Chain A
Amino acid sequence: MNNSQFTELKNIFIDGVIFDYVNLDKSSAAYEKLIQTINKPLKLMLFYGKPGAGKTFLLKKIYKDFKKKKNIVFLPRPFFDEIEFLKVLYKKVFEQEPPKFGGYDEFLSIAETKFDKNQDAITVLIDESQLYPNDLIEKIRLLADSRKFKFLFTVHKTDKEDILAKDYFKTRIWETIELEDSTYLESKIYIEKKLIFHNKFEYVALFKEKHYKLIMKFTNGNLRTINKYLYKLFEILEYYDLSNPSKINHRSLQIKYLEMAGISQGMLDA
């Protein structure tokens, strides 16, 4: 099958596959604050925001930027078992296969023999922290008390559950950073930059103000939702481009297709 011009555009917005760090005001501010916090002698830190706000992207960027400069570890997937968690942590920190150990006490005693006396604490970036069992969170806290590790918990902030109200975070977290959803202007910049990063300059003109407003209305500035929505939009346009090219206006997007994408994503009640 012939490829449409929209096929490439669609692929730019595949969520979780294409890693583009788009420098937005709010993400820049959160990035700076995260760097400052990591450099402080803190044991526990909390980074939170709504799902899809770009927390994982920021963690990935921080890890990418600092992995060669300082001891930093990124754990993108959640763990539910203590031994499994300790094994992965050992492997990432010491870059070798972990020995057999029964629990966090053994892990800590082995790790202390490997650390230099004046060595800085290792920063561990933990994504999806809200999925960790409470027992494991307690063990992680004890690891932090050893001053050999500092942990940055990344959690989802939902309307129903205020993560900061949880006891183990309430009493021990020393620094909190919030990442909010994008504003209208940031969402617009995000889409434009995504297209420009992938050398699709000519398609930036496809989007007018009314289109950005509609996209903002559908996605509420959530970057993950924007990616999903634009993927669906270009998928629909791809179909028409290949099947009924006369229906496509190549100079400007038709509202009909934006609304169809919204219906398809459950953003509009049909």
Chain B
Amino acid sequence: MLSANDIAALEKKYSKYIFKKRLKLFFTVIIFLSIIIFALYYLFYTPSIQKKDIDTNKTAKNVIKKTSSAKKPKDINLTKISSIVKPKDINLTKTKKITTIKKENNTTKDIIKTKKYISNMTEEVIKLDANISNADNNIEKKLIFHIKPQNRTASNTKSTGTLRLNRYFLNKEYKVKKQKNINSIKNIDKNGTIQKEEYAKPKIHIEMRNIDSSKYLKEKFQETHDLTFALMLCKNYYSKKKYRESLKWSIIANDINSQNEKSWMWFAKSKYRLNKRKDAIKALKAFLKSNESKSIRMLLRDIINGELDD
């Protein structure tokens, strides 16, 4: 028969065996659970993120599309832009922020939640160039929309985004007219924040700033060598009383197209302002010898009479 010592030693070995067995079982369970969790994560969570990415990208594209389609050059309705802000809150000085528009949009809820998308959105810049050639005031407009998410720590149910609109002016500041009939806009607060019914959640800030128009126009002229930009430079410098520069650009414009009466006009005006009245009269008369222009005649008359306005 076994002795008590034999049994004690066997009991000790058995305890050790049971401990090992349980430890093995524990690690097996842990590994098994880890595999299950990983598999579930892989099967369900990752695709959902990808799906969200796709959805949010789609949403973003839709939002951008909507925004951009609303801001296409031919559709740009300055009165509309102005109508979404209160006239009294709009400061059209060159450096000041004009207005902030808050919009809430259910469809952009996931955009903010998804960091990946946020980064994409941050990089997303939509530029719309609107070259508006206005015969009366020759205003070149450039609209740049920056869509930028804001308030990333928004609540679980709401999220916001920011839309910045930079507008560049060349010569004139816009006068923004108020328009009543904007269907999508419901409320406007004192800060110029506009609540849109269908865009309930995201905040959209529209910012309008001026840039160095001369620099911009020079760059554009160098790119295109277009007469329009040369004439716009003439006007720009003339308005700034930089008559030598306006004279120079009138000559450049005339080189491009000597039959364009505006280059002759800016030449004459600049000469007149540089106290070269005779040169101005001489040039205008030379133009009228071979061309007929009512505006040139009127300008000639004003210069001769010394009645030229700014």
Question: A residues near B, CB below 8 A?
Answer: 1, 7, 235-236, 238-240, 242-243, 256, 259-260, 263-264, 268-270
Interface residues of A, dominant DSSP:
helix
* Cross-chain contact B17 with A263 (CB below 8 angstroms): yes
Interface residues of B in 9-24 (CB under 8 A from A): 10-11, 13-14, 16-17, 20
Asked if B10 contacts A256 (CB within 8 A), the reply is no
Q: A1-B1, A270-B20 are in contact. Are A239 and B14 (CB under 8 A)?
A: no
Determine which of B1, B6, B20 lies in contact with A242 in the assembled complex, contact meaning CB atoms within 8 Å: B1
- Report 27 cross-chain contacts, Cβ distance below 8 Å, ordered by A residue: A1-B1, A7-B1, A235-B2, A236-B2, A236-B10, A238-B2, A239-B1, A239-B6, A239-B7, A242-B1, A243-B4, A243-B7, A260-B11, A260-B13, A260-B14, A263-B10, A263-B14, A263-B17, A264-B10, A264-B13, A268-B17, A269-B17, A269-B20, A270-B13, A270-B14, A270-B17, A270-B20
Chain B nearest CB from A14 CB (Å) reads: 14
Chain B, residue nearest A261 (CB): B10
| A235–B13 CB distance below 8 A | no
Using A260-B14, A269-B17, A270-B13 as known contacts, list a sample of 20 further A-B pairs with CB atoms less than 8 Å apart, ordered by residue number in A: A7-B1, A236-B2, A238-B1, A238-B2, A239-B1, A239-B2, A240-B7, A243-B4, A243-B7, A256-B14, A259-B17, A260-B13, A263-B13, A263-B17, A264-B10, A264-B13, A269-B20, A270-B16, A270-B17, A270-B20
Interface size classification for chain B: 10 to 19
Are the CB atoms of B14 and A259 closer together than 8 Å?
Answer: yes
Give CA–CA (A7, B1) in the complex, Å.
Answer: 8
Cα–Cα, bound, A239→B1 (Å): 7
B18 → A minimal CB distance (Å): 8
Minimum CB–CB distance for A239 against chain B, Å: 5
Q: Are B1 and A260 in contact (CB under 8 A)?
A: no
A269–B7 CA distance with the chains assembled, in angstroms: 17
Q: Which residues of chain A are within 8 angstroms of B1 by Cβ–Cβ distance?
A: 1, 7, 235, 238-239, 242
The B interface, classified by DSSP as helix, strand, loop or mixed, is helix
Q: In the bound complex, how far is the Cα of B34 from the Cα of A2, in angstroms? A: 55
Query: Complex: how many Å from CA A243 to CA B11?
Result: 14
When distances are taken between beta carbons in the complex, the residues of chain A under 8 Å from B6 are: 239
Give min CB distance, B160 to chain A, whole Å: 64
B interface residue numbers (CB < 8 A to A) = 1-2, 4, 6-7, 10-11, 13-14, 16-17, 20
* Closest partner residue, chain A, to B17 (CB atom): A270
Q: For B17, what are the chain A residues with a Cβ–Cβ distance below 8 Å?
A: 259, 263, 268-270
A235–B11 Cα gap in the complex (Å)? Answer: 14
> In the docked arrangement, what's the CA distance between A260 and B2, Å?
13
Closest 8 CB pairs of A and B: A270-B17, A270-B13, A239-B2, A263-B13, A270-B16, A260-B14, A239-B7, A260-B10
Closest B residue to A238 by CB, please name it. Answer: B1
Give chain B nearest CB distance to A121 CB in angstroms. 50
Separation of A86 and B144 alpha carbons in the complex (Å): 115
Contact partners of A1 in chain B: CB under 8 A: 1
| Complex CA–CA separation, A37 to B1 (angstroms) | 44
Please name all residues of chain A whose beta carbon is closer than 8 Å to the beta carbon of B2 when the two chains form the complex: 235-236, 238-239
Residues of B within 8 A of A242 (CB): 1
**Residue of B4, B10, B11 most packed against chain A (CB within 10 A):** B10
Residues in A neighbouring B11, C-beta threshold 8 A: 260
Please name all residues of chain A whose beta carbon is closer than 8 Å to the beta carbon of B4 when the two chains form the complex. 239, 243
Contacts of A243 in B (CB 8 A): 4, 7
Complex-state Cα separation, A181 to B103, whole angstroms: 83
A236 CB contact (under 8 Å) in B7, B13, B16, B20: B7
- State in angstroms the CA–CA spacing of A270 and B4 once bound together: 19
B16 nearest CB neighbor, chain A only: A270
| Cα-based distance from A105 to B58 in the complex (angstroms) | 104
Alpha-carbon separation in the docked complex, A7 to B10 (Å):
19
Residue of B with least CB distance to A264 = B10
Taking CB atoms, residues of chain B closer than 8 Å to A238 are: 1-2
Shortest CB-to-CB span from B17 to chain A, Å, is 4
Of all chain B residues, the one with the shortest Cβ separation from A243 is B4
What is the CA–CA distance of A1 and B13 in the complex, to the nearest angstrom? Answer: 27
B10 — which chain A residues lie within 8 A by C-beta? 236, 260, 263-264
Q: A232 → chain B, closest Cβ, in Å?
A: 9
Chain A residues near B20: list those with CB within 8 A. Answer: 269-270
Nearest CB in chain B to that of A235: its residue? B2
In the assembled complex, the CB of A254 is this many whole angstroms from the nearest CB of chain B, namely: 12
**Cα–Cα, bound, A264→B2 (Å):** 11
| Interfacial chain B residues near A240, Cβ < 8 Å | 7
Residue of B nearest to A236 (CB): B2
Nearest CB in chain A: distance from B16 CB, A: 5
Residue on B nearest A262 in the bound complex, by CB: B17
- Which chain A residue has the least Cβ–Cβ distance from B14? A260
Docked complex Cα distance between A264 and B13 (Å): 9
A162 to chain B, nearest CB (A): 36
**A contact residues around B16 at 8 Å (CB):** 270
Q: Of B1, B7, B17, which is in contact with the most chain A CB atoms at under 10 Å from its CB?
A: B1
User: Nearest Cβ distance between residue B133 and chain A, in whole angstroms?
Assistant: 92
Closest to A3 in B: B1
